[in-house]
Amino acid sequence: MSAKKRVIQLLGLASVGALSLGLAACSGGADASSGEDVTTIGFVAVGPEGAWREANESNIQDTFTEDAGYELKYAPATNLDQKSQIDAFTSFVDEGVDVILLSATEGSGWEDSLKRAQEAEIPVILIDRGIEPDDNSLYVTRIAPDNIEVSTSVAEWATSQFPDGANYFVLEGPAGVSVVNERNEGFDAVVGGESGFTKVGAQTANWSTEEAKSVVETVLKSNGNDVQFIFAQNDEMGLGAVQAVEEAGLTPGEDVKVATIDGTKGALEALAAGELSFVAEYNPLFGETALDVVETVLDGGDVEPYIVVPSETFDSPEAAETALPERKF
């Protein structure tokens, strides 16, 4: 038994006995005969969903390595299906991992799973996405940038660009995802009321460039091209909006301004080229923060219920050009 596990038991946080269920592992644990401590992490992940998700999950996997004393078991969702995530979560509980990292495809429907982990005395850390209803007695902490703060920055920039208001459209992520609700909340709090902004509609494009392009094509046609601003809740959708604007014979950045959230390299390149007008970073590189939290929890320490990951904003081609050489995602 590892020293960390002995500490957990003394603190009343012992996990249940291990049961190998053949979940895919990102990296193998250290050889038990070596006497090294190995902490097992079950990562209930989202899986393929775009550049931001790839950067985030790769960063987590690159952090919890065998050399660092961890065995990370990576379980991405099957086609973003919540049931596959719940099945993986249940398997990790049955197996008796030391900690579960959860990045949920849907915000609701997690109460029973989290209660089961709690009964098994397995700490759960939320990665990026929150749960609804948000009962933080069922998890240790959530690690993520502040979606409300990030989307508020988009809205404040938009009101500075359109002091008399504008017709605008919102490209949303999938329904039921906590970050979608939070990004709407932050944005709506600024552009509502007496701002002069008129919302011509909102529709999910499922984080997809192609879907966003199709949606915006329809929106521009149905509104006689009288849309001055598009808020895309992720970079891929924003890039799809740019394509639709160009194909409608309009000039991105002049006739229609497009603002996005994530801050991936592709978005900054588009901002540098004048195609996007504003990019709010949603920093995905918080593996080291997650590692610090795991070590603190396993050592019996306390952490804040929400750990905010600092993020930047980029409001000009020059700002994008300055950031691009060091961009890691």
The CA distance from 48 to 245, in Å, is 27
Q: Are residues 14 and 79 in the same domain?
A: yes
Task: Give the model confidence (pLDDT) of 58-97 as tens digits.
Answer: 999 999 999 999 999 999 999 999 999 999 999 999 999 9
CA distance linking residue 88 with residue 98, whole number of Å: 15
Residue 193 and residue 128 in one domain: no
C-alpha count within 13 angstroms, C-beta hemisphere, residue 91:
17
Number of Cβ within 10 Å of residue 12's Cβ equals 8
Q: Evaluate the CA torsion angle 160, 166, 172, 178 in order and state its sign.
A: positive
Give the span between the Cα atoms of 120 and 161, in whole angstroms: 52
**Strand 313-314 versus strand 278-281 pairing type:** antiparallel
Query: Is the previous residue joined to 317 through a cis bond, with omega within 30 degrees of 0?
Result: no
pLDDT in tens, 195-238: 799 999 999 999 999 999 999 999 999 999 999 999 999 999 99
165, part of any domain? yes
Could you give the strand order of the β-sheet that contains 124-127, starting from the edge strand earlier in sequence? 70-76, 39-45, 99-102, 124-127, 141-144, 306-308
Question: Cα separation of 10 and 39, whole Å?
Answer: 16
Residue 81: CATH number of its domain: 3.40.50.2300
Minimal CA–CA distance to 114: which of 140, 78, 82, 83? 140
pLDDT tens sequence across 148-184: 999 999 999 999 999 999 999 999 999 988 899 999 9
Asked if the structure places residue 308 within a domain, the reply is no
Q: Are residues 137 and 66 in the same domain?
A: yes
Q: What is the pLDDT of residues 6-53, one digit of tens each?
A: 233 323 333 323 323 333 333 333 443 344 689 999 999 999 988 999
| 153, 112: one domain | no
pLDDT tens readout for residues 263-283:
999 999 999 999 999 999 999
pTM of the model as a whole:
0.85
Residue 306 lies in a domain: no
Q: Token pair for residue 24?
A: 């895919």
Residue range 289-304: mean pLDDT, rounded: 96
Q: What angle do CA 144, 149, 150 make, to 5 degrees?
A: 75
Tell me, yes or no, whether 305 lies in a domain: no
CB atoms within 10 A of CB 198: 13
Same domain, 157 and 276: yes
User: Which one-letter DSSP state was computed for residue 324?
Assistant: G
Kindly state the tokens that stand for 156: 């404040």
Q: Please list the residues that pair with 229 across neighbouring strands.
A: 168, 257
Quick: pLDDT tens for 108-119.
Answer: 999 999 999 999
Domain that holds residue 246: 147-282+314-326
Nearest CA to 121 out of 136, 91, 99, 90 is that of 99
The residues facing 183 across adjacent strands are none
Residue 118 sits in the same domain as residue 224: no
Q: Do 198 and 115 lie in a common domain?
A: no
> Is 309 a member of any domain?
no
Residue 129 and residue 228 in one domain: no
pLDDT score recorded for residue 161? 97
- 239 with 181, same domain: the answer is yes
Q: How many CB atoms lie within 10 A of CB 49?
A: 23
Residues 69 and 81 in one domain: yes
Asked if residue 147 lies in contact with residue 177, where contact means CB atoms within 8 angstroms, the answer is no
Q: Is residue 29 part of a domain?
A: yes
How many separate domains does the chain show? 2
Judge whether 171 and 260 are in contact, CB under 8 Å.
no
Residues 167, 137: one domain? no
Shared domain check, 172 and 321: yes
- For 166-225, the DSSP string reads -EEEEEE--TT-HHHHHHHHHHHHHHSTTS--EEEEEEE-TT-HHHHHHHHHHHHHHTTT
